[in-house]
Structure formats: structure tokens, C-alpha cells
Amino acid sequence: MAAPLIVFAYNRPDHLKKTLTALSENPEARVSELFLFVDGPKNEAGLEANRRVREVAASFASGYFRSVTIRAASENKGLARSVIEGVSEVLTRFDRVIVTEDDAVCSPYYLRFMNEALEYYRTDETVWSIGGYTVPLLLPEEYHDDVLLTQRCSSYAWATWKDRWERVDWEMRSYPAFRWGFRERRAFNRWGDDRSLMLDDQMEGRINSWAIRFDYAMFCSGMYNILPRYSLIHSIGHDGSGTHSGADAADPFRTDLKKALPVHRLIRPAADERIRRAYRAFFRCGRLDRLKLFLKHRLLQNRRKGATNA
């Protein structure tokens, strides 16, 4: 049975239409239940775009998927809360889910891979999630497997199971110990120098992210994310339209869906140090940049403590 699909949308009707069109062109779409979560506008200026998003959602209500359920929020929840609440709601009925952002145009082979991987790795206690988006890595010439093992999720397009999702501590009760635990921070950063700083930004309220907390739970569980060798997703959100994306003509996250494999040979890959190094290099921050951000965060924290004690 095909896993249920979730798409989160907010104020980008054109992006949403392209995303839903691409999803509907996957053969598995006709047997997949789709849940569309539309966040509410932040203010009156966003009413028109939000209205158009709801119109696009309604236009896919029949004829494309097995069934479509639209949840339109009356308030603006923000992305993190929308994702956490939406996924949790759907997982009260199902044991797995496939989630796609509203700016992720997929290959016609996307749903096949995601469903097959969800079934294949279901009982594998080393696998935390499945990703549909793979950053454009330069893989070693002698690497011939169809899938990669990483410890970093693919927030553009991903899938997981109910039992993994329920392990996430969204309140991050272990964060105070992690904040100054340099050994643990170094270990978390083995898959990208940006990760500890993103977690700091989340806990200090500078960003609103579910994904970095999901990543942290994966790390704490000692589990991994499975990715296709070549991305099955092309992100169209790096055009300045998204909350967390900026316009960049030389988008480093750009992928070519023509490389996508129609069928993937699923295996239980071992952790490959070459892949880890390639991922870390892709998300590398210079030491000086890390030091500046670290000192900035420490200064902000001390100021807040001072204001609280005043």
C-alpha cells in the first residue's frame, strides 16, 4: 500500500502548482492519499497570496490522487509548528508518511523510490528516515551503489515512520548539556559545520526549524538517512520567495532530474567516510566564521541573562 503524502504550503501558489503537478505525474499518485496543510497568512498583505494557494490546493482535490484532504489554518503557525502538528496528525492514522515541501519538484520516479525504501528499511534500526533530495555531491569514481547513507535529513522531501517520529524531543530538554558540550558538538558537526550553530539559532529563537531538531534526534539515536544516488527532487524555492531561502543565480543546491534513476537497487549500505567528508565539505563553514558566530551567540546569551537579572 502506498504511503500517505503530505504537502505543506503557505503563500506561493505558482510553486505549489508545479510541485503538485509533478507529484501527480508519478504513477503511484493515483493510489496515494494526499494531505495538504495550508498555513494561515501572517497579515493582511499576505491574504491574496494565501487565497490563491488555497485555490491551487482545491484544484487538485479530485482526479489526481486517491483522495485529497485539505487543512487550511485560520492562523499563521509558522513552518516548524505546521510540520510537527501536520505530520503528527497524519501519523495517528498511518505508520509511515512521505512529506514534500511546496517548492520541491519531483522526478516521475520519486514516489516509487520513497515507497520501496520505506518498506525495505522498515525494520532496520539503523535507518531513521528516507530522503528524496540529494545535494549535488561529487561522488568517488569507485562508488557504484544506488543509495547513500548520511546522518542529515532532506527537509525538501523526506519520509519516515511513526515509531521514529515519536522519538523526537521537540522541547530539546537535553540542549543545555549540549550547548557547552564541545565533544558532542564536534560529533554533531561531523555531517556539517553548520549544524550546532543552527541548533543554537533554533533554541535562541533566531530560526523556526523542525528539521534541525529532527536531525539532532537522528544523531542522538545513532541512526541514518537513506538517499538516492542522484536527487529525485529539484528545489525551485531559491528564488527569494521562501521564508528560509534567498535568491541566488548560482544556486549550489540546484540538481538535474535527468540524472534520476528510474529504479534503485536497495541495499543496507555501511557508513562511508568518503560520503561523510563530501557532505561536510558541501556544508563547510570556515573556522573564523564559526568562531564569530560562536562569540556572537555567547554575547547575546550574556546580554539576555543580564536583562533577566536586572
Instruction: Sketch the domain layout of the chain as residue ranges.
Output: 5-309
Predicted local distance difference test score (pLDDT) of residue 285: 56
Predicted local distance difference test score (pLDDT) of residue 248: 45
Predicted local distance difference test score (pLDDT) of residue 138: 83
Predicted local distance difference test score (pLDDT) of residue 253: 79
Predicted local distance difference test score (pLDDT) of residue 239: 53
Predicted local distance difference test score (pLDDT) of residue 19: 98
> What digits encode the pLDDT tens for the residues 261-297?
999 999 998 889 999 988 888 887 545 554 554 555 4
**High-pLDDT (> 90) share of the chain, %:** 75
Return the CATH architecture of domain 5-309.
Answer: Alpha-Beta Complex (3.90)
> What digits encode the pLDDT tens for the residues 229-247?
999 999 997 654 544 444 4
Q: Which residues pair with 235 in a beta bridge?
A: 104
Can you list the residues of the chain whose pLDDT is less than 70?
A: 238-250, 285-310
Predicted local distance difference test score (pLDDT) of residue 35: 98
pTM, whole model, 2 decimals? 0.88
